[in-house]
Structure 1
Amino acid sequence: MSDAGVPLGDPEMRAWMAFLAAGHLMDHEVERQLKHDGGLSHPEFEVLIRLERAEGGRLRMSDLARQVMISKSRLTYQVTRLERAGLVRRTGCETDRRSVWAELTGEGTAALERVRPGHRRVVRESLIDVLSPEEIALLGNALGRVADRLRTR
């Protein structure tokens, strides 16, 4: 159990503040690179990546919203922008008339290919190269546990 009412100690506050700063700065760097290399926002990039990794390059909108961890209305906004740009298309589900598929187009794949080298460079320079292999493993495990806890709420 946590001690919710207990103030954070110095090491805990330092960890929290460093987490906040690193997250904001990392998001800014990734966003800047994606805009520069492909005119994409970070959320749009994440939608495209999730679709690329999905079987057949498509996901139901409800499943995509869960994976990207945004509201359905926010996802609709992102997918509409991507659809207008020709990077995604929406189609009806053959087996469930209430469901809609989001599907990656060839143009969407090409957009990912344009931004991928810069994205990898930013992630490596800003995060991976700063940490040892042990720290990378520790960070992945620790933040995975945090995400798992928050997903259950």
Structure 2
Amino acid sequence: MADVPLDPEEERFWRALQRVMVMLPKALDDDLVRSTGLTLSEYVVLMHLSEAADRELRVTDLASLSALSVSRISRVVDALTKRGWVRKRRPAEDARGSVACLTAEGFGRLEAAYPFLLSSARRRVMDHVGDDLISPLADQLEGVVNHLGE
């Protein structure tokens, strides 16, 4: 099955998906930087921290959730720390790693940026997908994500 060529519609879908995967992060990043000064990576890190218990995560877990390499997440967390939006600490149970903690100022920055990301997401994607397709597409894409995580 893996070596069966894609039919024309599958090929069209695959190529469109590849373009979306390349173009969308750049477009969202450009919109966020222009409107808020935050990069998309910084926004995603703040978002994941805001959703975590006690608003903190091990940096390695944060890298995984954010789909960033360990070296990239370290640079992003360091940049956010310099701005006072994140604190880093050594966990008591394991001094080998570090934990990133969202500060109140960082949470405020995330809240202020959210409307701009929402606007960008609507303008760049949601306004171009029919309402009747949202739920089935979400189901399909979640299935792909779950398979990729196996």
In the TM superposition, what whole-angstrom CA distance separates every residue of 1:96-152 from its partner, at most 9, and x where no partner exists?
222311011122112212211111011112222222233111111111111111111
Aligned to 1:78: 76
Q: 51-60 or 130-139: which moved more?
A: 130-139
- Residue 114 of structure 1 corresponds to which residue in structure 2? 112
| Partner deviation per Cα, 1:47-89 (whole Å, 9 max, x = no partner) | 1100011111111112212211222222111111111222111
Task: Report matched runs for 1:97-112 at 5 Å.
Answer: 97-112=95-110
Inter-partner Cα distance in structure 2 for 1:98 and 1:28 = 34
CA contact (8 A) 1:30 1:42 kept: yes
Counterpart CA distance in 2 for 1:28 and 1:72 is: 21
Alignment-mate amino acid for residue 73 of structure 1:
S
Deviation by residue 1:3-45 (Cα, 9 ceiling, x = unmatched): 2222221111110111122233322221112101221111111
Aligned with 2:101: secondary structure? strand
Partner residue in 2 for 1:53: 51
Question: Contact between 2:36 and 2:116, CA under 8 Å: does it hold in 1?
Answer: no
Compute the TM-score of the two structures, normalised by the length of structure 2.
0.91
Which of 7, 10, 13 pairs up with 1:12?
10
**Secondary structure of 1:4 counterpart:** coil
Equivalent residue for 2:39? Answer: 41
Partner residue of 2:149?
151
Query: TM-score by structure 1 length?
Result: 0.89
Unaligned runs of 5+ in 1: none
**Percent identity of paired positions between Structure 1 and Structure 2:** 31
Distance 1:55 1:121 in 2: 27
Aligned residues: 150
Q: CA RMSD in A?
A: 1.5
Q: What aligned pairs does 1:88-99 form with structure 2 within 5 A after superposition?
A: 88-99=86-97
State the alpha-carbon separation in 2 of the partners of residues 34 and 126 from structure 1: 12
How far apart are the structure 2 equivalents of 1:70 and 1:128?
25
| Residue range with higher mean Cα deviation, 15-24 or 114-123 | 15-24
| Contact in 1 for aligned 2:56/2:99 (Cα 8 Å) | yes
8 Å Cα contact 2:32/2:40 also seen in 1: yes
